[in-house]
Amino acid sequence: MIKMKDIYESICCKSIRKIMYISDSFVAISGTGFIIKFQEKFYFCCLYHCMSNEGKFEKNKLFGLSILYKTYLEIDPKTISESNVANYVLFPNPEQITKEFCSSKIDDDLMLDEEFIPIEIIGENELIPCGYLDFDIEYWSNYLFSEKKPIENEILLVCGFPFSDNEIDYTDDGEIKKVSHQVHIYAGKCKKDDIGFFVEKEDKNVSFDCNGVSGGIVMRMIDGHSEWVGIAVRANNDIIRFIPYYLVAKSIIQNILNRNQQA
Protein backbone atom coordinates (compact mmCIF):
# COMPACT_ATOMS: atom_id res chain seq x y z
CA MET A 1 0.00 0.00 0.00
CA ILE A 2 1.40 3.39 -1.05
CA LYS A 3 1.14 6.04 1.66
CA MET A 4 0.13 9.54 0.54
CA LYS A 5 2.61 11.01 3.03
CA ASP A 6 5.47 9.16 1.31
CA ILE A 7 4.35 10.56 -2.06
CA TYR A 8 4.10 14.18 -0.90
CA GLU A 9 7.43 14.00 0.94
CA SER A 10 9.30 12.30 -1.91
CA ILE A 11 12.09 14.14 -3.74
CA CYS A 12 10.20 13.92 -7.03
CA CYS A 13 6.98 15.44 -5.71
CA LYS A 14 8.79 18.14 -3.71
CA SER A 15 10.66 19.26 -6.83
CA ILE A 16 7.53 20.50 -8.62
CA ARG A 17 6.39 24.13 -8.59
CA LYS A 18 3.37 26.02 -9.80
CA ILE A 19 4.07 28.60 -12.51
CA MET A 20 2.81 31.96 -11.23
CA TYR A 21 3.56 35.37 -12.69
CA ILE A 22 2.35 38.95 -12.43
CA SER A 23 0.84 40.53 -15.54
CA ASP A 24 -0.93 43.91 -15.59
CA SER A 25 -0.94 43.90 -11.77
CA PHE A 26 -2.77 40.57 -11.65
CA VAL A 27 -1.36 37.21 -10.58
CA ALA A 28 -1.83 34.50 -13.21
CA ILE A 29 -1.21 30.75 -13.21
CA SER A 30 0.09 28.93 -16.24
CA GLY A 31 0.98 25.34 -15.41
CA THR A 32 3.50 23.19 -13.55
CA GLY A 33 7.29 22.93 -13.65
CA PHE A 34 10.09 21.40 -11.61
CA ILE A 35 13.45 22.46 -10.16
CA ILE A 36 16.83 20.87 -10.82
CA LYS A 37 20.35 21.56 -9.58
CA PHE A 38 23.09 21.33 -12.21
CA GLN A 39 26.70 22.55 -11.98
CA GLU A 40 25.92 24.19 -8.61
CA LYS A 41 23.10 26.32 -10.05
CA PHE A 42 19.34 25.94 -9.75
CA TYR A 43 17.00 25.90 -12.73
CA PHE A 44 13.24 25.98 -13.01
CA CYS A 45 12.25 23.77 -15.95
CA CYS A 46 8.91 23.99 -17.70
CA LEU A 47 7.28 23.26 -21.03
CA TYR A 48 7.54 25.98 -23.63
CA HIS A 49 3.78 26.05 -24.18
CA CYS A 50 3.28 27.04 -20.52
CA MET A 51 5.27 30.24 -21.16
CA SER A 52 4.00 31.04 -24.65
CA ASN A 53 0.87 32.17 -26.43
CA GLU A 54 0.08 30.93 -29.93
CA GLY A 55 3.66 29.72 -30.31
CA LYS A 56 5.27 33.03 -29.30
CA PHE A 57 7.27 33.34 -26.08
CA GLU A 58 5.76 35.88 -23.68
CA LYS A 59 8.49 37.85 -21.93
CA ASN A 60 6.04 39.29 -19.40
CA LYS A 61 5.66 35.80 -17.98
CA LEU A 62 9.39 35.58 -17.34
CA PHE A 63 9.76 39.11 -15.97
CA GLY A 64 6.78 38.59 -13.67
CA LEU A 65 7.73 35.05 -12.68
CA SER A 66 8.21 34.14 -9.04
CA ILE A 67 8.43 30.64 -7.63
CA LEU A 68 7.58 29.60 -4.09
CA TYR A 69 10.60 27.60 -2.95
CA LYS A 70 8.58 25.52 -0.51
CA THR A 71 5.30 23.72 -1.02
CA TYR A 72 2.03 24.57 0.64
CA LEU A 73 2.54 21.67 3.02
CA GLU A 74 5.68 23.29 4.44
CA ILE A 75 4.53 26.90 4.65
CA ASP A 76 1.86 28.34 6.87
CA PRO A 77 0.32 30.96 4.54
CA LYS A 78 -0.51 33.09 7.58
CA THR A 79 3.21 33.59 8.25
CA ILE A 80 3.86 35.13 4.82
CA SER A 81 3.59 38.89 4.82
CA GLU A 82 4.65 41.63 2.43
CA SER A 83 7.74 42.26 4.55
CA ASN A 84 9.10 38.70 4.46
CA VAL A 85 7.81 37.31 1.18
CA ALA A 86 11.36 37.40 -0.29
CA ASN A 87 12.28 34.68 2.22
CA TYR A 88 9.98 32.29 0.37
CA VAL A 89 10.35 33.24 -3.28
CA LEU A 90 12.90 32.49 -6.01
CA PHE A 91 13.31 34.79 -9.00
CA PRO A 92 14.81 34.37 -12.48
CA ASN A 93 18.47 35.35 -12.47
CA PRO A 94 18.44 38.92 -13.88
CA GLU A 95 21.72 38.27 -15.70
CA GLN A 96 20.03 35.52 -17.68
CA ILE A 97 17.10 37.68 -18.73
CA THR A 98 19.35 39.90 -20.87
CA LYS A 99 20.72 36.93 -22.81
CA GLU A 100 19.12 35.09 -25.69
CA PHE A 101 16.36 33.01 -24.21
CA CYS A 102 15.52 29.78 -25.96
CA SER A 103 13.85 26.44 -25.54
CA SER A 104 15.06 23.03 -26.68
CA LYS A 105 13.15 20.38 -28.54
CA ILE A 106 13.29 16.91 -27.04
CA ASP A 107 15.34 14.47 -29.11
CA ASP A 108 13.44 11.36 -30.27
CA ASP A 109 10.12 12.96 -29.33
CA LEU A 110 8.86 12.90 -32.91
CA MET A 111 5.13 12.80 -32.24
CA LEU A 112 4.50 15.14 -29.31
CA ASP A 113 6.98 17.79 -30.53
CA GLU A 114 7.45 19.32 -27.08
CA GLU A 115 10.06 21.86 -25.97
CA PHE A 116 11.52 22.63 -22.54
CA ILE A 117 12.81 25.89 -21.09
CA PRO A 118 15.33 25.85 -18.19
CA ILE A 119 15.32 29.17 -16.30
CA GLU A 120 18.16 29.86 -13.87
CA ILE A 121 16.73 31.00 -10.54
CA ILE A 122 18.18 32.74 -7.51
CA GLY A 123 16.95 33.68 -4.06
CA GLU A 124 17.68 36.64 -1.87
CA ASN A 125 20.03 36.09 1.08
CA GLU A 126 21.43 32.90 -0.52
CA LEU A 127 18.03 31.25 -0.39
CA ILE A 128 17.99 27.81 -2.03
CA PRO A 129 15.01 25.70 -3.08
CA CYS A 130 13.47 23.18 -0.73
CA GLY A 131 13.07 20.10 -2.89
CA TYR A 132 14.79 19.62 -6.25
CA LEU A 133 16.32 16.97 -8.50
CA ASP A 134 20.06 17.11 -7.90
CA PHE A 135 21.79 16.31 -11.20
CA ASP A 136 25.18 16.97 -9.54
CA ILE A 137 25.21 13.93 -7.27
CA GLU A 138 26.45 10.55 -8.48
CA TYR A 139 23.13 8.74 -8.01
CA TRP A 140 21.23 11.12 -10.29
CA SER A 141 24.05 11.24 -12.85
CA ASN A 142 24.04 7.46 -13.10
CA TYR A 143 20.25 7.29 -13.21
CA LEU A 144 19.93 9.93 -15.95
CA PHE A 145 22.26 7.94 -18.21
CA SER A 146 20.66 4.59 -17.38
CA GLU A 147 17.72 5.30 -19.72
CA LYS A 148 15.42 3.10 -17.67
CA LYS A 149 12.31 2.54 -19.77
CA PRO A 150 8.81 2.91 -18.32
CA ILE A 151 7.28 -0.50 -17.63
CA GLU A 152 3.93 -1.20 -19.24
CA ASN A 153 1.07 -1.88 -16.79
CA GLU A 154 3.04 -0.63 -13.77
CA ILE A 155 1.27 1.85 -11.49
CA LEU A 156 2.54 5.40 -12.03
CA LEU A 157 1.78 8.63 -10.22
CA VAL A 158 1.51 12.09 -11.78
CA CYS A 159 2.03 15.16 -9.55
CA GLY A 160 1.00 18.63 -10.66
CA PHE A 161 -1.04 21.77 -10.00
CA PRO A 162 -4.41 21.60 -11.84
CA PHE A 163 -6.09 24.96 -12.40
CA SER A 164 -9.30 23.65 -10.80
CA ASP A 165 -7.55 23.27 -7.41
CA ASN A 166 -5.39 26.39 -7.71
CA GLU A 167 -7.78 29.26 -8.29
CA ILE A 168 -7.12 32.87 -7.29
CA ASP A 169 -10.00 34.80 -5.73
CA TYR A 170 -10.07 38.59 -5.98
CA THR A 171 -12.09 41.19 -4.10
CA ASP A 172 -14.27 43.70 -5.95
CA ASP A 173 -11.37 46.15 -5.66
CA GLY A 174 -8.99 43.81 -7.48
CA GLU A 175 -7.08 42.76 -4.35
CA ILE A 176 -6.14 39.12 -3.89
CA LYS A 177 -8.46 37.52 -1.36
CA LYS A 178 -7.27 33.92 -1.56
CA VAL A 179 -4.65 31.92 -3.46
CA SER A 180 -5.32 28.19 -3.51
CA HIS A 181 -2.14 26.12 -3.69
CA GLN A 182 -2.78 22.40 -3.95
CA VAL A 183 -0.75 19.56 -5.42
CA HIS A 184 -2.89 16.85 -6.98
CA ILE A 185 -1.83 13.22 -7.39
CA TYR A 186 -3.16 11.19 -10.32
CA ALA A 187 -2.65 7.42 -10.40
CA GLY A 188 -3.00 4.94 -13.24
CA LYS A 189 -1.36 2.20 -15.28
CA CYS A 190 1.47 2.84 -17.71
CA LYS A 191 0.51 2.17 -21.33
CA LYS A 192 2.16 2.69 -24.71
CA ASP A 193 0.81 3.32 -28.21
CA ASP A 194 2.15 4.60 -31.54
CA ILE A 195 2.58 8.10 -30.08
CA GLY A 196 4.38 7.14 -26.89
CA PHE A 197 3.84 6.44 -23.19
CA PHE A 198 0.83 7.52 -21.15
CA VAL A 199 -0.82 6.96 -17.78
CA GLU A 200 -4.33 5.52 -18.10
CA LYS A 201 -6.82 5.88 -15.28
CA GLU A 202 -8.15 2.65 -13.82
CA ASP A 203 -11.34 3.98 -12.25
CA LYS A 204 -13.69 4.97 -15.09
CA ASN A 205 -15.82 6.95 -12.61
CA VAL A 206 -12.94 9.35 -11.91
CA SER A 207 -12.11 12.18 -14.31
CA PHE A 208 -8.54 13.27 -15.04
CA ASP A 209 -9.10 17.01 -14.62
CA CYS A 210 -5.52 17.80 -15.62
CA ASN A 211 -5.58 21.30 -17.10
CA GLY A 212 -2.46 22.91 -15.58
CA VAL A 213 -0.62 19.66 -14.84
CA SER A 214 1.57 19.84 -17.98
CA GLY A 215 5.19 19.90 -16.83
CA GLY A 216 4.44 17.90 -13.69
CA ILE A 217 6.46 14.90 -12.53
CA VAL A 218 5.57 11.31 -13.42
CA MET A 219 7.03 8.85 -10.92
CA ARG A 220 6.86 5.38 -9.43
CA MET A 221 7.06 4.48 -5.75
CA ILE A 222 9.42 1.67 -4.70
CA ASP A 223 9.62 0.70 -1.01
CA GLY A 224 8.48 4.14 0.08
CA HIS A 225 10.90 5.99 -2.21
CA SER A 226 10.18 7.79 -5.47
CA GLU A 227 11.82 7.21 -8.84
CA TRP A 228 11.55 9.72 -11.68
CA VAL A 229 9.81 8.24 -14.73
CA GLY A 230 8.97 11.24 -16.89
CA ILE A 231 7.23 14.58 -17.40
CA ALA A 232 3.52 15.01 -18.12
CA VAL A 233 2.91 16.85 -21.39
CA ARG A 234 -0.69 16.40 -22.52
CA ALA A 235 -3.87 14.94 -21.08
CA ASN A 236 -7.58 14.36 -21.48
CA ASN A 237 -10.19 12.90 -19.14
CA ASP A 238 -8.79 9.38 -19.47
CA ILE A 239 -5.03 9.54 -20.05
CA ILE A 240 -1.95 11.65 -19.28
CA ARG A 241 0.78 11.47 -21.90
CA PHE A 242 4.37 11.81 -20.74
CA ILE A 243 7.93 11.89 -22.05
CA PRO A 244 10.52 9.59 -20.39
CA TYR A 245 12.86 11.34 -17.95
CA TYR A 246 16.11 10.70 -19.84
CA LEU A 247 14.87 12.48 -22.99
CA VAL A 248 13.81 15.46 -20.87
CA ALA A 249 17.10 15.54 -18.93
CA LYS A 250 19.24 15.37 -22.08
CA SER A 251 17.35 18.29 -23.61
CA ILE A 252 17.62 20.44 -20.48
CA ILE A 253 21.31 19.72 -19.84
CA GLN A 254 22.24 20.38 -23.46
CA ASN A 255 20.32 23.66 -23.39
CA ILE A 256 22.20 24.81 -20.28
CA LEU A 257 25.60 23.74 -21.63
CA ASN A 258 24.97 25.50 -24.95
CA ARG A 259 23.87 28.67 -23.18
CA ASN A 260 26.94 28.68 -20.93
CA GLN A 261 29.23 28.07 -23.90
CA GLN A 262 27.73 31.00 -25.81
CA ALA A 263 28.13 33.22 -22.76
Contacts of 261 (CB under 8 A, 6+ apart): none
Enumerate the domain spans of the chain: 4-262
Buried/exposed code over 129-140 (b: 16+ C-beta within 10 A; e: otherwise): bebbbbbeeeeb
Q: How much is the pTM?
A: 0.85
The domain made up of 4-262 has a fold known as: Thrombin, subunit H (2.40.10)
Would you state the torsion angle of the CA atoms of residues 211, 213, 218, 220, taken in this order, to the nearest 10 degrees? -80
Asked if residue 169 has pLDDT above 80, the reply is no
Buried/exposed code over 110-124 (b: 16+ C-beta within 10 A; e: otherwise): eeeebbbbbbbbbbe
Query: Model confidence at 129, in pLDDT bands (50, 70, 90)?
Result: confident
Asked if residue 123 has pLDDT above 50, the reply is yes
Rounded to 5 degrees, what angle do the CA atoms 190, 166, 19 make?
80
Task: For residue 230, give the nearest of 127, 147, 118 by alpha carbon.
Answer: 147
Query: Model confidence at 72, in pLDDT bands (50, 70, 90)?
Result: very low
Which one is predicted more confidently, 192 or 22? 192
| 38 within 8 A of 135, measured Cβ to Cβ | yes
pLDDT at 190: 97
Asked if residue 61 has pLDDT above 80, the reply is no
